[in-house]
Each structure stands twice: as structure tokens, then as C-alpha cells.
């Protein structure tokens, strides 16, 4: 009896493995691609953190680990906190391997799109960012907010594929000083 139960369990486990295993470790049965090891948002910073400063650059440093299984195709950055709408120089978006302090090879950007309704940028790479790469994305607002305060930017990354499953990496936080918040006028 014990052997029969054991055989049934082993048979069911084998059947479930065959039925539930996708054709690739990075695809669901619905052909949705995803990262098997998640990328990480390492740092978010600005070249100037004073209110009203024109032409700053906001840097987002992301690590795509070697075990991620898929290359990164595009990123969505959405303002989630802060009182003002920011306007960007979309054609001045940059990306490079490494960090702002240790820049490497440039990464080509295919497009940078702005969605005014959701206050989000979608940056698509011309060449995919391969696993094992740490890179930095630089976006250029026309100016910092008029008034000081904390601004939060949600960062979501998407793997290559026709049906990618986005992975939310968390919020990047920038603190601007000066203006109507009463500090450093």
C-alpha cells in the first residue's frame, strides 16, 4: 500500500512537471517573458538638487544580473510623488554601461516617450541590455521643480519579447531644496 501511494505521488509529480514546465525557463505557457533573477535599482541621483535649477540630469543606475535569463528592452519611469509636473528634453536621454562616476560604453536609445496623463517616461533601447550589465540611464528635465520637496519616481523594467512581464524595482527618491518649502532660499 505504501509503495502504491509513493508510485502515485511520483507519477503525479512527473505529470505536473511536464504540464507546468514552460518551453524556456524565462517564458510562461502564455509566452510571457520575464526575468528569472531580478534586476536591481542601485542608485538614483541628480546633478543639482536645488529647486529651479535648469537642465539637470537625473541618473538611474540599474544592475541586470548575469542570472536574469533575459535581456532588458525598455524601462518605464513614473512620477509617483511630488507636487509639480516635470517636463523633459526627450531627445537628450542618454544611457551608458557603468555608473555616473565610472562611465563605460554608451548604450543606444531607440526612443523616449512621454505620457502626460500618467507622468511617465518609457525609454526603449536600440540594442538590448544583456544580463551581467550594470548601466545608468540619464534623463534631462528642463528644470528642477519650482519648489523644494521630495519626488518619487517608480522604476519598472521590461525584458525582451513580444509579451514582456514588467518588474517594478521600487521608487527612486530625489530631494530638492529651496523655494517655498522654507529651506535654502
CA 94 to chain centre: 14
Asked, for residue 111, whether it belongs to a domain, the answer is: yes
The whole-number pLDDT of residue 12 equals: 57
The whole-number pLDDT of residue 72 equals: 94
The whole-number pLDDT of residue 33 equals: 83
Number of domains in the chain: 1
* 99: pLDDT strictly greater than 70: yes
Asked, for residue 16, whether it belongs to a domain, the answer is: no
CATH of the domain at 76: 2.60.40.3670
- Taking the C-alpha atoms of 168, 174, 179 and 181 in order, what is their torsion angle to the nearest 10 degrees? 80
Average pLDDT on 27-48 reads 85
Model pTM? 0.80
Q: Residue 162's pLDDT band (boundaries 50, 70, 90)?
A: confident
Least confident of 65-69, 159-163, 168-172: 159-163
Measured between alpha carbons, how far is 63 from 43 in angstroms, rounded to an integer? Answer: 10
Q: Residue 161's pLDDT band (boundaries 50, 70, 90)?
A: confident
Asked, for residue 3, whether it belongs to a domain, the answer is: no
Asked, for residue 132, whether it belongs to a domain, the answer is: yes
Asked, for residue 1, whether it belongs to a domain, the answer is: no
Amino acid at each position: 500500500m505504501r509503495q502504491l501511494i509513493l508510485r502515485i505521488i511520483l507519477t503525479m509529480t512527473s505529470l505536473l512537471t511536464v504540464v507546468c514546465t514552460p518551453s524556456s525557463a524565462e517564458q510562461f505557457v502564455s509566452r510571457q517573458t520575464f526575468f528569472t533573477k531580478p534586476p536591481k535599482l542601485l542608485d538614483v541621483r541628480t546633478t543639482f538638487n536645488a529647486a529651479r535649477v535648469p537642465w539637470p540630469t537625473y541618473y538611474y543606475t540599474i544592475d541586470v544580473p548575469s542570472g536574469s535569463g533575459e535581456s532588458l528592452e525598455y524601462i518605464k519611469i513614473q512620477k509617483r510623488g511630488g507636487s509639480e509636473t516635470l517636463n523633459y528634453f526627450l531627445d537628450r536621454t542618454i544611457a551608458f554601461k557603468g555608473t555616473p562616476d565610472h562611465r563605460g560604453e554608451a548604450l543606444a536609445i531607440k526612443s523616449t516617450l512621454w505620457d502626460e496623463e500618467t507622468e511617465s517616461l518609457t525609454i526603449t533601447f536600440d540594442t538590448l541590455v544583456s544580463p551581467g550589465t550594470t548601466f545608468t540611464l540619464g534623463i534631462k528635465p528642463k528644470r528642477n521643480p519650482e519648489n523644494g520637496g521630495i519626488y518619487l519616481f517608480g522604476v519598472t523594467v521590461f525584458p525582451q519579447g513580444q509579451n514582456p512581464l514588467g518588474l517594478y524595482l521600487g521608487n527612486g527618491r530625489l530631494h530638492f531644496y529651496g523655494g517655498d518649502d522654507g529651506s535654502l532660499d
